[in-house]
Amino acid sequence: MLIASTSTIHGSGYLEYLLDRLKIHFKSTEEILFIPYARPRGISHNEYTTIAVKAFKNIGKTVKGIHEFESPETAITNAKGIFVGGGNTFVLVSQLYKNSVLLPIKNAIKNGTPYLGTSAGSNICGLTMHTTNDMPIVYPPSFKTLGLVPFNINPHYLDPIEGSKHMGETRETRIKEFHAYNTPPVIGLREGSWIEVKGNQLTLKGTLEARIFEYNKAPYEIATASDLGFLS
């Protein structure tokens, strides 16, 4: 699994910063199943899939959207590679439950199907979607998600800006609120960072540190290339 904070970093195209890594990650397949359910900016599934098609064309891969199949569950079962894009996590999780594909995705990954998640597609890799940044515009049947890593994820993690006059909550404040009611660890993934999962090995990748939040502990930083297994 590749669990990325974002699909696009400042000054680059869609997935451009990850393409070299994706060549290796999806080396065993020529076609990738794309799940566009998160619908960023409310765009259609077809429009979103077209964006993914253009990106993967750069590394010689073809992409087909899950909405193009008669049976979403069968599409997952037959997939040789899976990509779940970003957008609104509430919308994504609602559609995953509605189409009965959350468990098939989990089983496919456990059986060795390579998976890429960005933003909302990364949120769902954690224990729950409680640490999403998104507005609750729809109500999913459950906040439980794939649970394939032993922590929650906060993608697009932002540090407080010194001197800012913004009066709203910082990301750190929101995660502390989460820990007032929940105990799982949370990883704040900064833009351009990702978690690489190979079997039981979990490693922070990218050029930036990540911020770790553990229940009843002060938050702290870990360096890129760090093993995240200690959070199990």
User: Annotated catalytic sites, by residue?
Assistant: 119, 134, 156
Structure tokens, 145: 């998600």
Residue type, 107: N
What's the rounded Cα separation, in Å, for the pair 218 and 134?
25
Strand partners, 202: 197
Q: What pairs with residue 86 in β-bridges?
A: none
The per-residue DSSP string of 127-164 comes to SBSTT--S---S--S-SB----SSSEEETT--PPPTT-
Distance between CA atoms of 227 and 203, rounded to whole angstroms? Answer: 5
What is the DSSP-derived secondary structure letter of residue 191? T
* Cβ–Cβ < 8 Å for 37, 95: yes
